[in-house]
Structure 1
Amino acid sequence: MFRKLSPIFAVFAAFILTAQAASAATYGVDPVHSQVQFSVDHLVVFKVSGTFDEYEGEIEADASGKTLKSAKASIKVASIDTREAKRDDHLRSADFFDAANHPIMTFVSRKVEGSGDDITVFGDLTIRGTTREVALKGRFRGANTDPWGNVRAGFSASTVINRHDYGLNWNKALETGGFVVGDDVTITLEIQGVLKKT
């Protein structure tokens, strides 16, 4: 009995896989309408925030299921901007990102869980030649067609990393206690992707 039904299940499984593949599409990250931001404690009682302004990436997403299938990105470290030129130069130096020897940081997803407003993207984040797994918590904001006929999808995500895990160790102690730079860095992503035409 089960042997007779197995071909039916095989056809059904193939149909499901085909439907899933058809529903997923690839979106190229639009840097003009996206933001890669970070913030870290400064002098204990303040926060410094900044952005990386040059990057590219792709997201495979299922708009109907409101979820992601995969994501990857590369970010030019030298494009860091904290609105203070001397600080940015210091961050590019060997004390922090060492942009001369490690000009690109990357993220490549391994798996994605959830959908809609509760998505977790697990993947490998590489900074300064060191790779660690991180979990980006976020949401699929939806998809729309712009006035020029381009299909766009929006994604939001954030995570917290310890900068020492990536060799960004520079610091100075304060006379009043604590250090100039905090350990934990909050990364926030607001991503707009444009559907790639086949």
Structure 2
Amino acid sequence: MKKYAIDFSHSTIGFSVKHMMISKIHGTFESYNAEIALPDIEQVEGGSISFTIAVASVSTKNFDRDVHLVSPDFFDADVYPKILFTSTDIKKLGDKEYAIHGDLTIKNITKPIIFTTIYTGNGVNPWAQEVYGFQAKTQIDRREFNLVYNTLLETGGVLISDEIDVVVDLELNPI
């Protein structure tokens, strides 16, 4: 197995959620680490991937909303400071496309999820270091992780959708 490190300045763990059922709010987690071991960077089957995300690092570019997200109404970061993901299986779907099966833990609730993942290519950066790109996407139902805060709107509907889109863009370097 070969190990890879994330280039944090060129990687993002992001999410989006519908707001008032008419627009999307986007956010990121600014602090995370990962352990990535793969038999071959372009054939990732048989590899292992795990992430630890600091909940308090959530950023939606709105201070009040970010404070609310780490409060007991949502993530309750003082009690549950980490989000964890650990892969359980990686299957090839097609040319440069994979299904990364794994366990996602939020607020001590663990559920299986699948990231549809694309190997986006490789190159050599200006410092002569190899770089490899991946994009992984999934959707979760926040209620399954006890993220249940919501408000009914006078016009009907809810303030926040239950479905959260998660997109992980990674640039990796061999260790």
2:125 aligned residue: 146
Q: Alpha-carbon deviation of 1:163?
A: 0.2
Write out the 4+ residue segments of structure 1 that deviate beyond 4 Å after TM superposition. none
Cα deviation 1:70-123 (Å, max 9, x = unaligned): 211111111111111000000000110011111110100000000543200000
Mapping of residues 55-74 of structure 1, within 5 Å: 55-61=32-38, 62-63=40-41, 65-68=42-45, 69-74=47-52
Aligned mates of 1:25, 1:151 — CA distance in 2 = 13
Q: CA shift at 1:153, angstroms? A: 1.5
Q: What residue in structure 1 maps to residue 22 of structure 2? A: 45
Tell me by how many angstroms 1:128 deviates: 1.1
- Give the aligned partner of residue 18 of structure 1: none
Give per-residue Cα distances to partners, 1:152-178, cap 9 Å, x unaligned. Answer: 221111000000000100011011111
Q: What is the root-mean-square deviation in Å for CA atoms of aligned residues?
A: 1.4
The CA deviation string for residues 38-85 of structure 1, in whole angstroms up to 9 with x for no partner, is 00011111111111111111222313x433522111111111111110
Query: Given that residues 66 and 140 in structure 1 are in contact (C-alpha distance below 8 angstroms), is that contact kept between their aligned partners in structure 2?
Result: no
Evaluate the alpha carbon distance shift between residue 116 and residue 140 of structure 1 in structure 2; reply closer, same or farther with a 3 A threshold. farther
The answer to whether residue 67 in structure 2 is matched with residue 124 in structure 1 is no
Alpha-carbon distance in 2 for matches of 1:116, 1:195: 22
The CA deviation at 1:33 is 1.1
* Aligned residue identity for 2:53: I
What 5-or-longer segments of structure 2 have no aligned partner? none
Alignment of 1:111 onto 2:94: no
Choose between structure 1 and 2: higher strand proportion: 2
3-state SS, counterpart of residue 74 of structure 1: strand
Larger deviation: 89-98 or 107-116?
A: 107-116
Alignment of 1:80-119 (within 5 A): 80-114=58-92, 116-119=95-98
Structure-1-length-normalised TM-score:
0.82
Give the share of equivalent positions with the same residue, in percent: 34
3-state SS, counterpart of residue 67 of structure 1: coil
Q: CA deviation at 1:31?
A: 1.5
Please tell me whether the aligned partners of residues 66 and 142 of structure 1 are also in contact (alpha carbons under 8 angstroms): no
Which residue of 142, 148, 152 maps to 1:163?
142
Give per-residue Cα distances to partners, 1:9-62, cap 9 Å, x unaligned. Answer: xxxxxxxxxxxxxxx411012221101110001111111111111111122231
**Structure 2 residue aligned with 1:14:** none
Counterpart selection for 1:76 from 48, 54, 57 = 54
State the one-letter code of the partner of 1:55.
Answer: Y
Q: Kindly tell me: are residues 67 and 153 of structure 1, through their superposed partners in 2, closer, same or farther at Cα, counting changes over 3 Å? A: same
Greater percentage in helix: 1
Total equivalences in the alignment = 172
Distance in 2 of aligned mates of 1:104 and 1:28: 20
Tell me which structure has the larger Cα radius of gyration.
1
Report the AA paired with residue 140 of structure 2: I
